[in-house]
Amino acid sequence: MEGITAEGISLPGPAWNERSQRILTPEALALVAGLHRRFEAERQSLMKARRESQAAWNAGEAPEYLDRNSEAATGDWKVGAIPEDLLCRRVEITGPSNSPKMVINMLSRRPDGSRADTAMLDFEDALKPSWRNIVDGMINIRAVAGETLEHLEPARPGREEKRYRLDPEDQAVMIIRPRGLHLVESNLRVDGEPVSAALFDMAVSFHHTARQLIEKGKTPAYYIPKCEHYLEARWWNRLFTALEEALDVEAGALKATFLIETLPAAFQMEEILFEFREHAAGLNVGRWDKIFSDIKTLGYHRERVMADRAAITMTQPWMADYALRCVQICHQRGAFGMGGMAAFTPGKTAEIRGRQLAKVLEDKRLEASTGHDGCWVSHPYFIAEAMKAFPRKNQLDVMHEDRDKYPGLLPQAIGPKTMGGLRTNVRVAIGYLEGWNRGIGCVAWDNLMEDLATLEISRAQTWQWLHHHIALDDGTPVTESLVRKVFAEELGNIVKDEAAEIAEARGETRDAVVESFLGAGAEAEEIFTRSELTSFLCDASPVEE
């Protein structure tokens, strides 16, 4: 059954429900359809170019710098003026857009007095792209723009009813992250084709928030994920302009920060920034997706088999140079160079939390010393500690003029490859996919916030170790049978040692939790032992049924 809503536009019947109709107004649908017809063929060409590049890298080539005499590299250009409300981004908090309670908490001041400067409300790696999650996220961001978002937490035994509200006079700046260019939104078709999820998220969110924000003197701000080439940035910039024209708002009103979270993009930072310069607020070093991209891009290069995830820190030479290059290029062009994520969730004991706070402060001081204008945290608990590292409004005056802006950026096989690293990959897979199967896109697991990017690191690294038949540092060969053995052991540990506590926290039976983890473990094991590495865990949202 389909819910036909306009000529050439169709949705599955279950997707055309009361909540989605609040968002998919005739005007919003017409906007999406028109943009799809205008931009989809070019998006398909860009995805074809990605596949061709990956095939070349699989055959032994590697990403490299582009023409060093281009206008982007040598021209005397700057980005457009950065609006006042985006000039202070010392600490940014990120999280899924679909939970009104989480959105309010991300935007609001904490009891200790701390508050993030900006909050990235996510439709991408922190959100499973189910239709309900996407629709709920759109409803929430529209309410944020309209300053009407509320959430009522019902009373339960031992806890009174609690109402959550935003304070329009004291809240973080909202930044929206749409889904990546590779993903399609299966639930909305135009002329028989599924629409780009990136285009859908941009069009629907801008339609419902831009004018409200601009009328209040605020900026419609976006984070753009997973760009791999300056031509992709050109596509995005043309979409930004089309949206501004469609809503009849001032050119350049929309501001974007591109995540430089792929290895190919690290070589094209300046070219990418040049392409969207009139809409640019900055670039961000998205460290977790970057690690995944490093492994995926050069996965067939035996001499670049990567170490344990925990060993790939920002102090590794290629990671440090990548971060410094981001700051150098951004600041010389008048844009922000944003730091990355501290992925901790508060530990259960004061001792664990104390160690976490110390690590967050150390990490953020390193980013501040690099010249970043701000950083990310994944939980409000760490905002105050991260803020200590960034006492100034921004660091746009840090230029790194004496540095070569063309450093070596190819990842190196530096660091340990251990059984502990393999076990971490397996545990992340089990824990994350168990949450994913319950409709959750970011999961608090082993005192870290695991999102799709960290699952992808674990998946790609295990594949790379298997593909190259490496031996761990203790001499243990990594084989399919070893990976399956580790899955069985880690699942057994979860069932024996953790299932009861998880069940109590969720208010479920232990048997239900065990069944859920066993199912996720079997699914993860199948994904991790495939002979071929797919580009992403998924490239299409699930169809609403």
Same domain? 370 vs 235: yes
d(CA 327, CA 322): 9
Domain of 492, CATH number, reads 1.20.1220.12
DSSP codes of every residue in 371-435: T-S-EEESSGGGHHHHHTT--SS--TT---TTS-SS---S----S---HHHHHHHHHHHHHHHHH
pLDDT score recorded for residue 4: 60
Q: Please report, for residues 64, 321, 475, the alpha-carbon distance to residue 398 in angstroms, rounded to integers and kept in the order given.
A: 26, 15, 46
Q: What are the pLDDT tens digits along the chain (545 aa)?
A: 466 666 899 999 999 999 999 999 999 999 999 999 999 999 999 999 999 999 999 999 999 999 999 999 999 999 999 999 999 999 999 999 999 999 999 999 999 999 999 999 999 999 999 999 999 999 999 999 999 999 999 888 888 899 999 999 999 999 999 999 999 999 999 999 999 999 999 999 999 999 999 999 999 999 999 999 999 999 999 999 999 999 999 999 999 999 999 999 999 999 999 999 999 999 999 999 999 999 999 999 999 999 999 999 999 999 999 999 999 999 999 999 999 999 999 999 999 999 999 999 999 999 999 999 999 999 999 999 999 999 999 999 999 999 999 999 999 999 999 999 999 999 999 999 999 999 999 999 999 999 999 999 999 999 999 999 999 999 999 999 999 999 999 999 999 999 999 999 999 999 999 999 999 999 999 999 999 999 999 999 999 99
Residue 509 domain flag: yes
DSSP 8-state symbol, 304: G
Q: Please tell me the total count of domains within the chain.
A: 2
Both tokens of residue 149? Answer: 């978002």
Residue 537 domain flag: no
The residue among 153, 167, 254 whose CA lies nearest residue 203 is: 254
As annotated, the active-site residues are: 177, 451
The continuous run of DSSP H or E covering 200 comes out as helix 197-215
Residue 86 domain flag: yes
3-state secondary structure of 4: strand
- Note the pTM of the prediction, 2 decimals: 0.97
Same domain? 209 vs 350: yes
Residue 272 domain flag: yes
Same domain? 254 vs 373: yes
Same domain? 424 vs 383: no
Query: Which amino acid is it at 36?
Result: H
Provide the pairing of β-strand 91-96 with 118-122: parallel
Both tokens of residue 264? Answer: 């190919």
Query: Residue 452: which domain range?
Result: 419-528
**Count of residues making up the chain:** 545
The residue among 184, 181, 256, 187 whose CA lies nearest residue 226 is: 181
Numbers of helices and strands, H then E, in the chain: 18, 17
Residue 1 domain flag: no
Same domain? 382 vs 433: no
Domain of 211, CATH number, reads 3.20.20.360
Q: Which residues contact 524 (CB under 8 A, 6 or more apart)?
A: 426, 429, 430, 433, 487
Half-sphere exposure (Cβ direction) of 230: Cα atoms closer than 13 Å: 17
Q: Please report, for residues 75, 181, 233, 363, the alpha-carbon distance to residue 436 in angstroms, rounded to integers and kept in the order given.
A: 46, 21, 30, 29
Same domain? 349 vs 441: no
d(CA 360, CA 394): 19
DSSP 8-state symbol, 324: H
Backbone φ/ψ region at 528: left (φ over 0), alpha (ψ -120 to 50), beta: alpha
Whether 179 contacts 130, CB under 8 Å: no
Same domain? 175 vs 233: yes
Residue 544 domain flag: no
Residue 397 domain flag: no
pLDDT score recorded for residue 1: 42
Both tokens of residue 41? Answer: 């063929």
